[in-house]
Structure 1
Amino acid sequence: MSQPSMRITVDAAVRARDVSRPVPEGAPQPPAPAPADPPRQSRAAKNERRRLEKRGLRPTA
């Protein structure tokens, strides 16, 4: 049985590299990264929300 693979994005790889790099004493701190955009809803989630709205129910999320 094989192990499930883990996906790593370019952003995560760059962050990991930057965190592991030592910073010399007295060096200015790098600027904080900009906040990421909120995740987009999947098509299935959007369809489920529409289905619930048609029935008069409120979606839970």
Structure 2
Amino acid sequence: MSAIATEHDVLLENLQKYFGFDAFKSEQRAIIQSLLDKKDTFVIMPTGGGKSLCYQLPALMLRGTAII
């Protein structure tokens, strides 16, 4: 199994654990991965597009304080 597939499994497990969802919407996985890779990330999505989860899930997965 590749490192990317393993990381995606961890992301999906945490998505299910914290939010109860079985899948990511559109670009959420890529956005979350970018944040976990500690890259500056700017997201524009429509209302209801899933922006909040893009910041909340990494905040739950990483140590420290997150300001959203």
**Common fold: TM-score over 0.5:** no
Instruction: Kindly indicate whether structure 1 or structure 2 has the higher relative contact order, using CA contacts under 8 Å at least 6 residues apart.
Output: 2
Q: 1 or 2, which has the higher helix percentage?
A: 2
Larger-Rg structure: 1
